[in-house]
Amino acid sequence: MKKKIFFAIAGIFTSSIFSAQNVSVFNDVPFYSMYHYLGEGQTMPPEAFSQIPAGAIRLHAYEQDIISRKLTDAEISSIGSSVMMNITLIAACDNYDRIAGVNLVLVPKGSTSYTFNQADIKRIEIGRFITPFMNKNKLTTQVPYSYKVDNISNILHDSALAASYDFWIEFRADGYSAAANTEVIGCADRTDVFRGNLEFVSSGTPAPTQNFLLPISYRDNLNNYNATDVPGQTTRLVTFTLEQPVANASLHLITSNHGSNPAGEEYVRRIHYVYLDNELVYEYEPGGKNCEDYRQYNTQVNGIYNTTPKTLRGWVSWNNWCPGDAIPNREVNLGNLSAGTHTIKLDVPTAVFKDGQGYFPISMYLQNSTSGQIICAEPSDFKITSQVGQTSTLGWKENGTSTNWETVWSRKSVYTPVYEFTHQIENTPIDSQSDLTKN
């Protein structure tokens, strides 16, 4: 669907006497099955409410379980300019990989509760992660996730926002207990799926600045068959209007590819293109990570982690994310935006969605602050520049400031350690290999 966005807030970020400390937002809170407690007269267990903080609320619905609470003035005052968000997910009775995450919600000042789709709240996603295949009876039973989120300090200390809104943190983990009821000892008839902790760890003194924030979308599904702005294509269009120019604007973007049917979108890497006013400003290809690092958390037998470790190339050839890993918080530098109307387009032209299955949940917001994370720009234009006899030379374009790279050499369509080796490259984006043989 095309979206026109008109809400934006620009305010002064004020600082006061500051003492950084850890803010524990949630500690050992329980999550429950997203497919239970939905019918008329059905009620959640008492523990669903007694084991969350005082003043917290639970937003439970179809394919959704969220715990939310308001940050206190004292907690906000203690959050500095450099912020890490740390999450620990604890196994209970869901042994499959699910989407989970954390949101920051702007709720009208003085509210003690709100509903998920309430018209006058503003929600941005500040972290998304994938739960692993966990058996609660096997070690390891806890999974850590961390995010650098300096930019939320500017939001929390924005005096204009604080005059109209309270700041709530939503902790979301949408699980389902049906498989674990029969596959995991001790889970029969249980509906609790995970437990979790969430904290902010900060340092540094907030400095006064002009903050700009424009929420755009939260987990809006994108595909090419029933959730697109261009029929038959995987395209999202968002139009927004700025009353004033915005300097140093960044698009904060979270996407993840889902569809677990054979040849589904989870298993095929696609290049994503981001355009501002019809000009390409960013491209990325999700995945490309070695998921062996997360095998330790996947203690339930599953179709992704079999008994034999995969090679690096065996993983990066297909995976969009790893069960047990964080989804990247991407940042697109849009530069200085003029007042007036602008359009952002996210396009994934090669996506197929075989058999009309799969979806990409898209979250976006604009801010004139960055997260502070170190982001390695993806190289491009990777190609064979010369091939003579048994020697091949490769080249690629470095799009950032990296001076060190790693190349992986192997036989085509063969993913065994015997035929795979890596080169460490320094200074110049060129590599070559001799003594190659025909596949």
Say whether both 361 and 401 belong to one domain.
no
Whether residue 336 is found in the same domain as residue 427: no
Residue 14 pLDDT > 70:
no
Render pLDDT for 94-108 as a digit per residue (tens, 0 to 9): 999 999 999 999 999
Last residue of one domain, picked from the residues 344, 367, 390: 367
Q: Which two tokens stand for residue 128?
A: 């998304």
Six-digit token string for 350: 């090669």
Q: Which residue has the higher pLDDT, 72 or 7?
A: 72
Residues 310 and 189 in one domain: yes
CA dihedral angle for residue 342, residue 255, residue 408, residue 399, rounded to 10 degrees: 20
Residue 439 within any structural domain of the chain: no
Q: Judge if 429 and 298 occupy the same domain.
A: no
**Would you say residue 385 has pLDDT above 60?**
yes
Q: Does the pLDDT value for residue 4 go beyond 60? A: no
Regarding whether 280 and 139 lie in a shared domain, the answer is yes
Could you give phi then psi for residue 232, rounded to 5 degrees? Answer: 85, -5
> Domain check: are 403 and 336 in the same one?
no
Tell me if residue 58 falls in helix, strand or coil.
strand
- The answer as to whether 62 is a domain residue is yes
DSSP string, 283-337: EE------GGGGGGG--S--SSS-SSPPPHHHHHTT-S--TTSEEP-EEEEEEEE
What is the separation of C-alpha 263 from the centre of its chain, rounded to a whole number of angstroms?
23
Percentage helix, strand, coil, to 5, in the chain?
Answer: 10, 45, 45
State which residues form the domain around 419.
Answer: 380-433
Q: Is residue 109 part of a domain?
A: yes
Q: State whether 411 and 295 are in the same domain.
A: no
Residues 301 and 391 grouped into a single domain? no
Among candidate residues 338, 367, 396, the one where a domain is terminated: 367
Considering the domain architecture, whether residues 341 and 398 belong to the same structural domain is answered as no
Residue 274's alpha-carbon distances to 126, 318, 334, 420, in angstroms, are 19, 22, 10, 34
The model's pLDDT over 210-260, given as tens digits with 9 standing for 90+, comes to 899 999 999 999 999 999 999 999 999 999 999 999 999 999 999 999 999
**Do 220 and 284 lie in a common domain?**
yes
Regarding beta strands 3-5 and 235-242, do their DSSP bridges make them parallel or antiparallel, or are they unpaired?
parallel
Q: What's the chain's Rg over C-alpha atoms?
A: 23
Element (H, E) at 107: strand 99-108
Q: Are residues 20 and 165 in the same domain?
A: yes
Q: Are residues 110 and 157 in the same domain?
A: yes
Q: What percent of the chain has pLDDT over 90?
A: 84
User: Domain count of the chain?
Assistant: 2
Backbone torsions φ then ψ of 336, nearest 5 degrees: -90, 120
pLDDT digits (tens, 9 = 90+) for 254-303: 999 999 999 999 999 999 999 999 999 999 999 999 999 999 999 998 99
**Which one, of 161, 272, 164, 214, lies nearest residue 3 by Cα?**
214
Q: Give the CATH number of the domain where residue 274 resides.
A: 2.60.120.230
Fill in the amino acid letter for 183: E
User: What's this model's pTM, rounded to 2 decimal places?
Assistant: 0.94
Residue 375 lies in a domain: no
